[in-house]
Amino acid sequence: MDRLTPRQQEIVALARSTGRVVVEDLAARFDVTPQTIRKDLNELCDRRLLARTHGGATVAGGLDDVDYEARRFLAQDAKRAIGRATARLTPQGASLFLNVGTTTEEVARALADHDGLTVVTNSLNVASLLHRHPGIDVVVAGGSVRRADAGIVGEPAVDLVSRFKVDVAVLGVSAIDPEGALLDHDYREALVSQAMIANAREVFLVADRLKLQRTAPVRIGHLSQIDVFVTDRVDDPAFAALCGAHDVRVVETDARIAPPAQASAGSAARASAADA
């Protein structure tokens, strides 16, 4: 990183370790003004080392340079709330797909008290979280295991998923673009997620609002294929309108409203699952 100042080098290192940096936090950390930090971020973005977001910056091009373990700490409280809300929308006795991701892992944790579930997953982390619970049967896809995140990808995984028809697919994604495209960094993972969408009666998208500020190169599908979008908050009125146009039910965990009644197996979760 020639010609970067020591502060700029540290800012880039922080972004790569945590995924995102915030202007106010950096100003306090380095004891400089927010204007100074904004100038640093603008220079780093001009050099394509970072990408600007509202109030800060992320690693340029998304999270592919961020360690998977570090991603667990990105929007951690939001992911946990999303997991709990999704579990409340999930009927007892349902069959599920769960794909790879730190948010779907939080869903898995929140499903631990459910009974009679069948979970088909291509994530060894999800399988590890659920296999010990007597009320949950876990089916793990075969294929190549990615070292970075213990995700199983490839043709055997797609084939296994295609042999099932489940009640609900619970999907995490790397990014969501303003037009509603659902995106990933790995085309092999995208193929597995596409098979999950095609073989589920309902599809739940689970993603915090930061996913709307990122990009990734591989298309999984489109918002129009989603039945329920569980998120912490939708800040963009245009994206909220897009959800409405495609009849996507949005469940925001930041909204403080009463929890729903239990849904029946195989039915859409139509009551709010806001985190109490």
Mean pLDDT, residues 193-215: 94
Enter the tokens of residue 177: 């673009």
How many structural domains comprise the chain?
A: 2
Q: Is residue 65 part of a domain?
A: no
pLDDT tens track for 55-96: 998 876 544 445 555 555 566 788 999 999 999 999 999 999
Residues 34 and 167 in one domain: no
Is 214 a member of any domain? yes
37 and 87 within one domain: no
Q: Are residues 129 and 216 in the same domain?
A: yes
* Residues 23 and 115 reside in one and the same domain: no
Chain segment 219-254, per-residue pLDDT in tens: 999 999 999 999 999 999 999 999 999 999 999 998
> Does one domain contain both 22 and 94?
no
Same domain flag for 237 and 171: yes
Give the pLDDT confidence score for residue 2 in this predicted structure: 54
Per the structure, the complete domain to which residue 76 belongs is given by 71-252
**Token pair recorded at residue 200:** 């589920």
Residue 51, domain member (yes or no): yes
- pLDDT, residue 30, reads 95
For 149, list phi and psi in degrees, rounded to 5. -140, 10
- Give every CB contact of residue 180 below 8 A, 6+ residues apart in sequence: 222, 223, 224, 239, 242, 246
Residue 127 lies in a domain: yes
Task: Specify the CATH number for the domain of residue 40.
Answer: 1.10.10.10
